[in-house]
A and B are shown apart, each in its own frame.
Chain A
């Protein structure tokens, strides 16, 4: 029994040394509406030391700091926009998982539309050219004569 208790204690110590995981119970705000806003915001913010993880998903200490920061700002009465602006001012656009539309990202945002438009236009022209062959051309006099001959 004592061995078991010792083992349990050891596990607890070990567990305490382990990396934390995503949102911790102690971070959760009392106000559910505010917490929901915090969660929505965190999902669009990048944990800068992680590979492509949002601060909502990441268990890195930095992500925890940022989650707490977001909640502090919200509790202080900031709007969602203000929280984002605050973080962007501090860490740059890199913190946003949804890159803002700027001169540098215009190509990124408009690629789907451009590809669709160009490919669609190309396709339409190609189809029109091809279906032009599809329309029935009237019989020439020689062909008509041949048919008449066959029908006779």
Chain B
């Protein structure tokens, strides 16, 4: 039984309470529900976390921005082709610190999702993000990115306009910024589409979000030729926040309320804001040069391999 089914069961139980009028019985049942909730929501599998990260009512980037930042002025357009709605960017302040905010925005309803292209950015979205980030570098504002995307859009026009080039350019330029960059994975972090906003000094992650090279479905189809094995793939892929923190890919896990971010939005936003502020105060102390070198060095050290020491041989002639 996965997390969505458990949620449905809980809702059923709660609706049944309202029909009752015996006070003591209600109290008893409420306690039972509470204990069931604790039991059901505490030991989550990787697949449960995938489902939570994609949950319909999970807070989206704009909700985070609205709560966490004192003010936010949205800016549009990449100055080259058009404005991509799946990436939201702008300037704002958090506790009096001026920052540039870039976020991938999912929709809540189908219409919204169509407008936002299911948070799958086109190249112009990444170019807009890069433009705003360069602006941030000019005015020495820290950059905060919120990542929530299934991946970059794999479509005809996206390819024509150089999806690969746009992502590559973002990766390179982001590594070289001399202002603090903080990336927060708030939902799905899928593949290069997420990484293109995720080259940061500190990468934070919400507890029930995922960050992976491709979707579990894609992994299952590629390796096992069967998309229905996605739940098994999720277990294998090490895409949860806890696994990634163990590997050192992310720096910090932001705690979510029991049952996922959507059960208590305010608490999630508060935790996120606190985490951002803590990291920012640390990063602001560093010199521009240090920030840049620290970021490059951080990514330089990622990798899982072994090396036999051939240094003394000085290469082999072919």
Bound together = no
